Amino acid sequence: MKRRDFLAASGAVFAGSLLVNPLQASGFAAPKRKLAMVGTGSRGLSFWGRRIIQQYGDIIEFVGLCDINPGRLETGRKALGISCPVFTDFGELLRKAKPDLLIVTTVDATHDEFIIKGMEAGCDVLTEKPMTTDEFKCQAILDAEKKTGKKLIVGFNYRYGTQFTRLKELLAEKRVGDITSVDFHWYLNTYHGADYFRRWHGHRNKGGTLLCHKASHHFDLLNWWIDSDPVEVVAHGSLEHYGKNNPFRGTKCRGCEHKEKCKFYYDITRNREYMELYVANEKHDGYIRDNCLWRESIDIFDKMAVQIKYANNVQVSYSLTTYSPFEGMSIAFNGKTGRIDSWEGLPWRQKEMANQAELHAREMSQQAERSERYDEIYVSDNFGKSELVKVPQMRAGHGGGDARLQDKIFRNPDLADPLKHAAGSRDGAMSVLIGVAARKSIDEKRIVRIEELTTLKPHPTRGV
Ligand SMILES: NC(=O)c1ccc[n+]([C@@H]2O[C@H](COP(=O)([O-])OP(=O)(O)OC[C@H]3O[C@@H](n4cnc5c(N)ncnc54)[C@H](O)[C@@H]3O)[C@@H](O)[C@H]2O)c1
């Protein structure tokens, strides 16, 4: 029996949704999907690289790695324990390695180049968020996808978290009627928040400001929960804490003369992985992982407030703070018959105080850790009672969302997706366009309409 006939007989549509590849189960050697990755930094290696090799090695193989930094590229290949070819020239990777699927995990403002060239070379592409950092690059990506007929997946892992999924279910079943407004506030602590200002994220030409880099996660959640497209954005933002807002500064934390008095002193020498990946390879490109967060060149905002109006008339009040004593969020959905509240990490609500540095490490870790704890969602009916919905917590990589996202992409791509967790280019665009519009609104002091940015037209029910 030929491979194609076997798939037809065994139900080809289910082939991707079975936990065991049917060809392998039958003794056929199914060809592995050929994967390449550009960007061998910490996200590329830890979340995509290492995890793919561990979890999906039976169906996927790396055929090439690419990074602009030859040292980090080689360190990365060794860390993954693979022998595939490495390239500092992306064109050469495409020509020689001929991947089926390309993963893009580079600096945000460079995603567009790799997404477009990858699709033009015949690859499907999986990009890290944010899809890109401005409206022109966004349009170019949408055009390239249309022209090439290739598929772009955006790695929105937050959608897959248990707490956020439960919220989506409650909203989809209209537990508190139609939603009319949402209050969403996100707090980054003085470890996680500060870390963005040490690196390229502090420069808008690299990360598009945290309105794109970080908040695109949150804007995507809002678009998905509200199930409508954004139409208008107005925002405020300033840089009042980091960057130029300090009387002293150095070049980097290592050897800094202000080490004793700087509350943000960060000792990278205690992190062996970062020493090998970043410090040992500074000589190639000058990427300083423990850069001074008081650099005067930092040109992003460290506090941001955004109002978003949706095509279905829902209005959102969103804020992002980057120097909070704790890491957390609060969200409230105001509906016609009640309200849904949820939160994460707010110390006055927690039974035990969390160590903020450990908490950040755990959040980024890929080791699944069962927890006795649960997330809380309160559903309150107008003129009625409040009900507590307990969602068991999974303390690993964004609430366990990282792992579920990868299973959907690599192991079970055809599995039914009733809550529409899977995200494509339109989702990537709509989330980043809110960030772009907010940045423009702050710069130009005006309301920005989403439809002035690209050819995408907002729909009252989230478009495809
Ligand atoms: N979804 C999530 O929760 C999540 C978490 C962390 C990071 N990310 C995303 O992953 C991406 C990588 O983040 P990171 O923390 O690993 O950053 P990083 O700085 O550690 O790694 C980026 C890598 O890209 C390489 N690079 C930069 N420009 C390049 C170019 N022109 N050509 C080839 N290589 C180039 C750098 O040398 C570096 O090795 C970012 O887009 C970030 O937004 C997502």
Contact between 97 and 83 under an 8 Å Cβ cutoff? The reply is: no
The atom of ligand 1 lying closest to the CA of 155 is 1
Residue whose entry in the numeric block shows the structure tokens 């050897």 = 255
Which residues lie with the beta carbon below 6 Å from any ligand 1 atom? 38-44, 66-69, 72, 105-108, 110, 128-129, 155, 157, 213, 398
- Beta carbons within 8 Å of 395's beta carbon, 6+ residues apart: 362, 369, 370, 371, 373
Q: Two tokens at 52?
A: 């793919």
pLDDT of 20: 42
- Ligand 1: centre distance to CA 235 (Å): 27
Instruction: Quote the CA–CA distance of 353 and 368 in Å, as a whole number.
Output: 21
Task: Provide the pairing of β-strand 303-310 with 152-154.
Answer: unpaired
The two tokens of residue 197 are: 């200002």
Those residues with Cβ within 8 angstroms of residue 270's Cβ, 6 or more apart along the chain or in another chain: none
Q: What is the largest CA-CA distance in the chain?
A: 75
From first to last of the 464 residues of the chain, give the pLDDT tens digit.
333 333 333 333 223 333 344 444 455 667 899 999 999 999 999 999 999 999 999 999 999 999 999 999 999 999 999 999 999 999 999 999 999 999 999 999 999 999 999 999 999 999 999 999 999 999 999 999 999 999 999 999 999 999 999 999 999 999 999 999 999 999 999 999 999 999 999 999 999 999 999 999 999 999 999 999 999 999 999 999 999 999 999 999 999 999 999 999 999 999 999 999 999 999 999 999 999 999 999 999 999 999 999 999 999 999 999 999 999 999 999 999 999 999 999 988 876 545 666 656 665 555 555 557 889 999 999 999 999 999 988 766 776 778 889 999 999 899 999 999 999 999 999 999 999 999 999 999 999 999 999 999 999 999 76
Q: Which residue has the tokens 């980090």?
A: 72
Cα separation, 154 vs 131, whole angstroms: 7
Torsion angles phi and psi, residue 156, rounded to 5: -85, 85
Q: Which residues are bridge partners to 316 per DSSP?
A: 182, 308
d(CA 323, CA 97): 43
* β-strand partners of 179: 335
Cα dihedral 422, 423, 425, 428 in deg (nearest 10): -170
CB neighbour list of residue 272: distance below 8 Å, 6 or more residues apart: none
- Give me ligand 1 centre to Cα 110, in Å: 9
Structure confidence at residue 134 (pLDDT): 98
Query: Ligand 1 atom 5: the closest Cα is on which residue?
Result: 43
Residue 389, C-beta contacts closer than 8 angstroms, at least 6 positions apart: 166, 170, 376, 377, 378, 379
Mutate to test the pocket of ligand 1, among 69, 106, 129, 404 (most ligand atoms within 8 A of CB): 106
* 178 CA from centroid of ligand 1 (Å): 39
Contact 275, 254 (CB under 8 A): no
**Angle formed at CA 346 by CA 344 and CA 352, multiple of 5 degrees:** 100
- What is the CA(129)–ligand 1 centre distance, in A? 10
The DSSP secondary-structure symbol of 450 reads: G
Mutate to test the pocket of ligand 1, among 116, 125, 128 (most ligand atoms within 8 A of CB): 128
Half-sphere exposure (Cβ direction) of 366: Cα atoms closer than 13 Å: 19
Q: Global pTM?
A: 0.91
